[in-house]
Amino acid sequence: MRILIAEDDFASRKFMLKFLSKYGECDVTVDGMEAVDAFLMAMDADMPYDLVCLDIMMPTLDGYQALKAIRDIEKDRGIPEEECSKIIMTTALNEGANVNKAFDLGCVAYAGKPIDQVKFESVLRKLDLIS
Amino acid sequence: MGDDMITEGMLDMFIFETEQGLENLENICLDSKDNGEFDDDHVNEIFRIMHTIKGASAVMMYQNITTLSHKLEDVFYYIRENQPENIPHAELLDYIFEVSDFISGELEKIKNGMESDGNADDLIEQLDAYLGKIQGNPAGAHAGDKGTQAAPVSVPAEKPHFYIAPVASERSMFYLIDITYSKNTDMANIKAYIAVNALKGIAEDILFTPADIISNPESANVVLEFGFKIALQTTAAADEIMELVNSSASIEQVEINECTSEEFIDFCTDAEAPISSAGEILMEPIEQPTVLIDEQKPETIVLTEEEKDTFAQKAKSEKDTGRKKAPKSPGKRTAVKKGETQSFISVNIKKMDLLMDLIGELVIAQAVVLQNPDLQVPGLDLTNFQKSASQLSKITSELQDAIMAMRMMPLKNTFQKMNRIVYDTSKKLGKDIELEVVGEDTEVDKNIIEHISDPLMHLIRNSVDHGIESNEKRMELGKTEKGKIILEAKNESGQVWISVSDNGKGLKREEILAKAKSNGLLGNRSEKDFTDKEVYNFITLPGFSTKKQVTEYSGRGVGMDVVVKNIQEVGGILDIESEEGKGSIMTMKIPLTLAIIDGMIFSVSGTNFVAATNSVTEFIRIDEQQVIVEPDGEEYVMIRENCYPLIRLNRFYHLEHGKDKMEDGIVIILSHEDRKIAIFVDELIGEQEIVVKPMPNYIKKVRGISGCTQLGDGSISLILDIAGLVTE
């Protein structure tokens, strides 16, 4: 599985990297813009990410914008829904409005920080990303 | 939402919505319990509720709730689609209540920050079996599976969404930090960033202005001039933050203030908007990418509209300032709420109490002004004064009404809970009982609602358990009608009366008397002297129960005394009426408001007293011959063939120089419940709205006095406790 992690905070980034490395090859970006670039690159190389973890509060391009951009790119390229990357937002913003907004924008899961690893894994399982 | 609720927005919403759904569900079930079946609307509604709960709990990853609600949804799906005849309704209701109880229980755990670990497997199995039964297929489990497979067809395909709640951490605090650097500091922006960096270790969330401290060297000047502001969400204490921040010598001052999450979010929203490169994306209207359950759609549309507005605004402000923008995410709360709830605000009840007190003081102050002794100068022309005075009185009384109305809540919710209690208890006891609710829209003070919920529950349980006979017994007694409990609320002379009446066996005077006798409560009065009321009141004494067998619900002899205590706390009384073999009526009579009453003022040798106007039945001037003196010194008056005990207030309170001759003073007849007494006073002064104040702590309890108040002329007046006097 190929994983993209976008996270501006160093500690969180390191945690996510460590946590997710056991499931696949992780790429790390530090802001939303870079994440979108990385996503495009991977797509061009025909090696799209299976899982994208986006922080919301990031410089340059925040998580919502990155999420929207990624979904737009996928739509633009006519990728069928079931083949789209699974996107999980990872953030400390737990307000209902934020969560619903992210769902509306097309993320599949929304993980509040500090991240509950057990539940996170069970979501990955439900998404058939890990067995 | 209350303070004690967890602060996590998403969870709050889930709990709130699920609780509402369950409440609806119970109401529907109780409504329909006598019909023997659900009508189509009910089936649809229940299906919808379970569907919503299923969806929401799946998002929140509460697997047990999801599976259970899914199963019930299946059952209703089958009922909706196939409209089977003769479904065992009572059994179905039981299952629904069990499901509802299970989910409530889990919600309670979640609210208390525990894991939702309840196991619903048994219940699911039972539901499966039930589904099998109504499908006419005894192999329950198998049929259940079919139902499961069938169900999703009707449901619009939903994208799975998951919400991973953050691991429970200590309650985090929000701080606003303001750092001032001394004016000659070099590279203040870098120093500021170091401070931010130091805080990142403990921060759950951190925001700061100016936000471009790293990329923009100019920001150093901004920092020097306006200071550096940080909004921080953390579990750490203020002194820990201080230590981390205050590491540089060039820091002149650090201010750390705790703030609420709202202020924190305000800070986020006030901070500058996102960067320009995202501008084009932002300006596009956001589409509706997800398939949603129907009823959520309108809300979502509203939400996106708002989003657009905000983004448009941001884009505008971006043009206006032309500055480089800080990244931030809009932390808006308002969009969560549904349209109709936006017109409500929740106010801390303490603030309401304060307002109530202040208005009370205002009423007193107004009386002090309007009845000021300075106005008593003879020949003073007060026409204009009186005009404005009456205007002022009008406004203050409206103000009183307004605050009262604000605190009023209908009894509906409380009564609905009782429905469930009757259902559960009667079911368990195998009695056939219906509950009729009258006047559930009656409004009472919120304070009072809180106090009566428990006593009411007791009374209802008592009626179900002791009041109403078992089905067989009723048959034996030839009582053809169903066991019935009527729960009624009404407004009556400034009080609210809430009564629980049943058509059961009623209280047995003899039995109670016998028990009272064995408890030594009768004293040396003969049994015949006791009125029915007095006898019935024995059951409100602690530890008094004639029931030999203790049941799960009542009979321990606690209960009634607790009921009475609770009612007395809000200044009410419990009135018991009963007829053996026909049933009993328990009525809670509670004052609508505790703070302001209409009072009748009179004086006794220079001391003012007040009695609540609604307890005064008449004033009468009598002559000495009408007074009967008993050998033990007790006095009675005969008025129109009625005999009333007489209390001369001047002797009662040892006031000297009071009028002693009956012809000089006046007698007031006061009533409390059914009993009346006559009090002898010097003269009447007038009627006025009075604000009840408790007696100051340093005065021990005085016989017959319940409180005091301040009159218009500034003097203090004592409020007579009529209930106390009557029982003297």
* Distance set, CA B53 to CA A102, B15, B103 (Å): 20, 10, 10
CA distance A6 to A91: 11
Residue B728 is predicted with a pLDDT of 66
Which sign, positive or negative, has the C-alpha torsion B375, B376, B379, B381? Answer: positive
Chain A residue numbers touching B204 (CB-CB < 8 A): 92, 113-114
Beta strand pairing call for B607-612 and B716-720: parallel
Residue B125 CB burial class (10 angstroms; 0-12, 13-18, ≥19): middle
CATH class name, domain B173-322: alpha beta
Cβ within 8 Å, pair B331-A65: no
Buried/exposed code over A46-70 (b: 16+ C-beta within 10 A; e: otherwise): eebbbbbbbbbbbbbbbbbbbbbbb
Residue A51 is predicted with a pLDDT of 93
Q: List the domain range (segments joined by +) for residue A71.
A: 2-126
CA distance B399 to B381: 29
Evaluate whether residue A11 is within a structural domain: yes
Residue B331 is predicted with a pLDDT of 39
B445 contacts B404 by C-beta, under 8 angstroms: yes
Residue B343, pLDDT above cutoff 70: no
Residue B292, pLDDT above cutoff 60: no
Residue B309, pLDDT above cutoff 60: no
Q: How far is B81 from chain A (nearest CA, A)?
A: 30
Residue B59 is predicted with a pLDDT of 81
CA distance B504 to B469: 6
Buried/exposed code over A83-111 (b: 16+ C-beta within 10 A; e: otherwise): ebbbbbbbbbbbbbbbbbbbbbbbbbbbb
Structure tokens at B639: 């008025």
Q: What is the CA angle B620-B621-B625, rounded to 5?
A: 120
Residue B380 CB burial class (10 angstroms; 0-12, 13-18, ≥19): exposed
Interface test with B, best of A37, A65, A71, A125 (most B CBs within 10 A): A65
CA distance B359 to B403: 8
In this complex, which of A33, A105, A126 lies closest to B289 when CB atoms are compared? A105
Structure tokens at B347: 């106010």
Q: What is the CA angle B691-B697-B698, rounded to 5?
A: 125
Residues 6+ apart with CB under 8 A from B587: B497, B498, B499, B500, B574, B575, B576, B577
> Can you tell me whether residue B203 is helix, strand or coil?
strand
Tokens 């007193």 belong to B364
Domain B9-154: give its CATH code: 1.20.120.160
Interface test with B, best of A19, A72, A118, A119 (most B CBs within 10 A): A119
Per-residue pLDDT averaged across B17-23, rounded? 86
Residue B373, pLDDT above cutoff 50: yes
In this complex, which of A72, A100, A112 lies closest to B166 when CB atoms are compared? A112
Structure tokens at B490: 């009404």
Residue B218 is predicted with a pLDDT of 78
Give the full edge-to-edge strand order of the sheet including B675-681. Answer: B616-620, B666-672, B675-681, B642-648, B635-639, B627-629
Cβ within 8 Å, pair B331-A95: yes
Region(s) of chain B under CATH 1.10.287.560? 349-409
In this complex, which of B10, B205, B286 lies closest to A99 when CB atoms are compared? B10
Tokens 């931030």 belong to B328
- Position B130: which residue type? Y
Region(s) of chain B under CATH 1.20.120.160? 9-154
CA distance B230 to B214: 15
* Distance set, CA B158 to CA A127, B58, B69, B154, B340 (Å): 14, 12, 17, 11, 26
> Can you tell me whether residue B468 is helix, strand or coil?
coil
In this complex, which of A71, A88, A91 lies closest to B289 when CB atoms are compared? A71
- Structurally, at CATH architecture level, domain B411-591 sits in 2-Layer Sandwich (3.30)
pLDDT band at B274 (very low <50, low <70, confident <90, very high): very low
Chain A residue numbers touching B275 (CB-CB < 8 A): 59-61
pLDDT band at B207 (very low <50, low <70, confident <90, very high): confident
* Residue B596, beta-bridge partner list: B691
Residue B516 is predicted with a pLDDT of 81
> Can you tell me whether residue B418 is helix, strand or coil?
helix
Evaluate whether residue A6 is within a structural domain: yes
Residue B518 is predicted with a pLDDT of 80
Measured torsion, CA atoms of residues B591, B593, B598, B603, in degrees rounded to the nearest 10: 80
Task: Please name the residue of chain A whose CA is at the shortest distance from the CA of residue B160.
Answer: A108
Tokens 């003081």 belong to B361
B686 contacts B703 by C-beta, under 8 angstroms: no
Chain B residue numbers touching A57 (CB-CB < 8 A): 205, 327-329
CATH code of A28's domain: 3.40.50.2300
Structure tokens at A75: 């739509």
- The half-sphere exposure of B143 on its side-chain side, counting CA atoms within 13 A, is 17
**pLDDT tens by residue, B663-694:** 888 999 998 777 889 998 988 888 887 877 77
Residue B725 is predicted with a pLDDT of 80
Which sign, positive or negative, has the C-alpha torsion B315, B321, B324, B325? Answer: negative
In this complex, which of B61, B307, B331 lies closest to A93 when CB atoms are compared? B331
Residue B395 is predicted with a pLDDT of 92
Overall number of domains in chain A: 1
Residue B170 is predicted with a pLDDT of 55
B700 contacts B591 by C-beta, under 8 angstroms: no
Fold of B596-727: OB fold (Dihydrolipoamide Acetyltransferase, E2P) (2.40.50)
Q: How far is A8 from chain B (nearest CA, A)?
A: 11
**What is the full DSSP assignment across B565-578?**
HHHHHTT-EEEEEE
CA distance B474 to B469: 6
Identify the residue with better confidence: B618 or B445. Answer: B618
Fold of B349-409: Helix Hairpins (1.10.287)
Longest Cα separation, chain B: 103
Residue B454 is predicted with a pLDDT of 83
Tokens 């007038």 belong to B686
Chain A residue numbers touching B265 (CB-CB < 8 A): 95
Q: How far is A46 from chain B (nearest CA, A)?
A: 25
- Position B663: which residue type? E
- The half-sphere exposure of A124 on its side-chain side, counting CA atoms within 13 A, is 21
Residue B592, pLDDT above cutoff 60: yes
Residue A50 is predicted with a pLDDT of 92
Residue B6 is predicted with a pLDDT of 39
B516 contacts B536 by C-beta, under 8 angstroms: no
Residue A87 is predicted with a pLDDT of 93
Q: How far is B260 from chain A (nearest CA, A)?
A: 14
In this complex, which of B167, B303, B329 lies closest to A56 when CB atoms are compared? B329
Q: How far is A82 from chain B (nearest CA, A)?
A: 10
B61 contacts B163 by C-beta, under 8 angstroms: yes
Structure tokens at B280: 């084009």
CA distance B341 to A73: 38
Evaluate whether residue A131 is within a structural domain: no
Residue A17 is predicted with a pLDDT of 92
A25 contacts A74 by C-beta, under 8 angstroms: no
B468 contacts B459 by C-beta, under 8 angstroms: no
Chain B residue numbers touching A56 (CB-CB < 8 A): 329
Residue B314, pLDDT above cutoff 50: no
CA distance B175 to B260: 8
Region(s) of chain B under CATH 2.40.50.180? 596-727
Which sign, positive or negative, has the C-alpha torsion B417, B419, B420, B424? Answer: positive
Residues 6+ apart with CB under 8 A from B69: B50, B51, B53, B54, B57, B99, B103
Residue B315, pLDDT above cutoff 70: no
Question: Nearest Cα to B156, choosing from B53, B293, B299, B48?
Answer: B293
Cβ within 8 Å, pair B164-A110: yes
Task: Choose the most confident range, by mean pLDDT, from B79-88, B199-208, B321-330, B602-611.
Answer: B602-611
- Note which residues in 54-73 of chain A have CB less than 8 A from chain B: 56-65, 68-69, 71-72
Region(s) of chain B under CATH 3.30.565.10? 411-591
Asked if A48 has any chain B CB less than 8 Å from its own CB, the reply is: no
pTM above 0.80, yes or no: no
CA distance B615 to B650: 20
- Ranges in chain A, pLDDT < 70: none
**pLDDT tens by residue, B487-500:** 998 887 667 889 99
Evaluate whether residue A50 is within a structural domain: yes
B122 contacts B68 by C-beta, under 8 angstroms: no
Cβ within 8 Å, pair A69-B281: yes
- Position B252: which residue type? E
- Note which residues in 22-41 of chain A have CB less than 8 A from chain B: 31, 33
Residues 6+ apart with CB under 8 A from B467: B485, B502, B504, B505, B506, B583, B584
Residue B137 is predicted with a pLDDT of 60
Region(s) of chain B under CATH 3.30.70.1110? 173-322
